Amino acid sequence: MSATTAQYAIPGMVILVVLFFRLRSVGKARRLRLERLWILPAFYAAIVGFVFWSVPPHGAVWLWCALALGIGGGLGWWRGKLMRVAVDPETHELSQTVSPAALIFIVALIVVRIGSRAMAVQMAGPGPSGLMAATDILMAFALGFITFQRVEIFIRARRMLAEARARRS
């Protein structure tokens, strides 16, 4: 196996294994805890903040990072809307179900990410500055995606919970 083939085969196999396990959970309800939705975005924001603080992007890369953050936020909001959220009418316990459309959306994003990474290396060259710029942009995209997906789910679930409590009163 050549180095180029291994470069795509190994991550491809890892993605397939992860998708296999994720496909098994499609359609199954999982408990949703509103009070914990902030943890992953906060953790990832701290990582991105540290990376940007230690090695800040230069020049136009800031603009590309802001654009990627906005696009990631929009796509994250859309994916959040694809997630099914339900409230148990008796216990008011929240649950979420991953829809097949949400999983297909993630697979499409993985394909786009792999393609954009390859394009970034070709356009910017394999030098450290080009790869750092591509990494910074992808990190900003992921931050927007993760954060706004969780925000959309939080807003919708909180509204649904308030409606269920109002009906019960």
The answer to whether 101 and 82 are in contact (CB under 8 A) is yes
Please give the pLDDT value at position 110.
66
Q: At what angle do helices 100-124 and 128-168 cross, to 10 degrees?
A: 160
CA 144, CA 152: separation in Å to the nearest integer?
12
| Stretches in the chain below the pLDDT threshold 50 | none
pLDDT attached to residue 123: 57
- Residue 165: predicted pLDDT: 87
pLDDT at 83: 87
Dihedral sign of CA atoms 12, 17, 20, 22 in order: negative
Q: What residue spans define the domains of the chain?
A: 29-168
pTM beyond 0.85, yes or no: no
